[in-house]
Chain A
Amino acid sequence: MKLSRIFGPVGIVWFLLTLGVIAYATKLGLILAPVDALQGNVFRIIFYHVPHSMLSLLFPYINLAASLCYLYWRQRDPLKALTADAWAISSAEVTVLYASICLWTGMLWGRVEWGLWWTWDARLTSMLLLWLLYVSYLMLRKLSATGQTHTLAAVLSVFAAIDVPIVYMSIKWWRTQHPAPIFFSGDPDAKMDPSMLPAFLWNIVGWAMWGIFLLCFRYALERRRQAREQDAALQAIEASLELAQ
């Protein structure tokens, strides 16, 4: 059974299911009684913010795996390499998407809670750098010469992957030496009240499903583009062959 044939109906079912989960999760997030009447309702922001942060740390790994596969298959099996490349660009775009939302919602939260749009605390700075790394990846994709794009992007992805742990550690040390106001002190799960857990978990599941859906949809779009490029290249070759005859 061709994979592309079942992509369609499964995709639609998954999409509808995801919408349902997100709607339910949002409702749970909004109607849950506040833990402490003094905290107010603004804490509900974490139901959207934290799942996006956690997921934005997941997709870069997919990008790394896809890039490594691309580099491995580049000479050995070009068709498989193209598949890997499609996964690489999809996961990079979804990473930037989730990281952007994480940063933006974090800023809105900080504005209300602390009166600050931004602070250079360890988490925010690391997230900003992750965002910068993958935006630079997308820029390289856009600006590089055709034919080279896939390889150069895969190499940059390897660099970014090596950089991420170094960034994380260095920023943590920096903020240990020079403390700054911390937006989310400690691990949010650690002080999460059990009554908040259902909303939190449903949101993680919902947004993970949404992320997977976007990833696969973007992958399908990339495969279409690749197929169209291959067609165009083939037409060009056939045209040149005809002229030769």
Chain B
Amino acid sequence: MKLSWMFGSSMEARHLLYVYLSVWFIQGGYLAWTAWHWTHTPKGSRAEDPLDSANRKNY
């Protein structure tokens, strides 16, 4: 990994890297979780638009 632009202590460099990586990891993780559930939740027959009265079955 090109860290040639880093000067100063390597602890700084490490922590900076941790910050950026962990933010991507956490945000990406939440996105992945939501996406996984999205693909694994079947669309109900009303899912198209629950507010649409045409979807309501009249008895």
* Contact among A26, A101, A220, A231 with B44 in the assembled complex (CB-CB below 8 Å): A231
Q: A232 — nearest CB in chain B belongs to which residue?
A: B44
Q: Which residues in A have some Cβ–Cβ distance to B below 8 Å?
A: 2-4, 26, 30-31, 40-42, 44-45, 48-49, 52, 79-80, 82-83, 93, 97, 100-101, 104-105, 108-109, 111-112, 210, 214, 217-218, 220-221, 223-228, 230-231, 234
Residues in A with CB closer than 8 Å to B46 are: 227, 230-231
Instruction: A40-B8, A224-B44 are known; give 12 further A-B pairs, CB within 8 A.
Output: A41-B12, A42-B12, A42-B15, A49-B19, A93-B30, A97-B27, A105-B22, A214-B30, A220-B38, A223-B47, A227-B46, A230-B46
Residues in A with CB closer than 8 Å to B44 are: 224, 227-228, 230-231
Residues in B with CB closer than 8 Å to A231 are: 44-46
6 CB-based A-B contacts, threshold 8 Å: A40-B9, A52-B23, A214-B27, A217-B31, A227-B50, A231-B46
Residues in A with CB closer than 8 Å to B22 are: 101, 104-105, 108
Number of A-B contacts (CB under 8 A): 102
Q: B37 — nearest CB in chain A belongs to which residue?
A: A221
Beyond A210-B27, A217-B31, is A108–B37 a contact (Cβ under 8 Å)? no
Chain B contributes a number of interface residues (CB within 8 A of A) equal to 36
Beyond A41-B6, A105-B23, A228-B44, is A82–B50 a contact (Cβ under 8 Å)? yes
* Contact among A31, A45, A100, A225 with B16 in the assembled complex (CB-CB below 8 Å): A45
CB proximity to A under 8 Å, residues B18-55? 18-20, 22-23, 26-27, 30-31, 34-35, 37-38, 41-52
Residues in B with CB closer than 8 Å to A42 are: 8, 12, 15-16
Q: In the bound complex, what is the Cα–Cα distance between A230 and B57 (angstroms)?
A: 12
